[in-house]
Amino acid sequence: EGLWFVASRQRGLWRTADSGGEWRQVLGGNVRSIVPDRAHSGRWAAGTAEGVFLSEDDGATWRPMGAGLPNLVSPTVGFAGER
């Protein structure tokens, strides 16, 4: 398929869907981690200095998941179990 991500502490999260032919920044800021949800195709989570973000379209768009979370600095994220 050619879907790749590059996370940077200074330049955010970059995405390509064509094996690097064209890159697009999809999140700004300090991105520390990004993981796929193996139970739900197309779902990804990213941990940033601004909180946790979720994508449900293979990283094309992201929404914050910070409601109710404590003040986190550069969280590491992951999905648990086979849901």
Spatial distance between the Cα atoms of 14 and 66, rounded to a whole number of angstroms: 21
Residue of 14, 16, 77, 80 lying closest to 50 (CA atoms)? 77
pLDDT tens, per residue, the chain with 83 residues: 699 999 988 899 999 999 999 999 999 989 999 999 999 999 999 988 888 899 999 999 999 986 667 666 657 788 876 65
- 55 alpha carbon, distance to own chain's centre: 7
pTM attached to this predicted model: 0.83
- Taking the C-alpha atoms of residue 29 and residue 81, their distance in angstroms, rounded to an integer, is 29
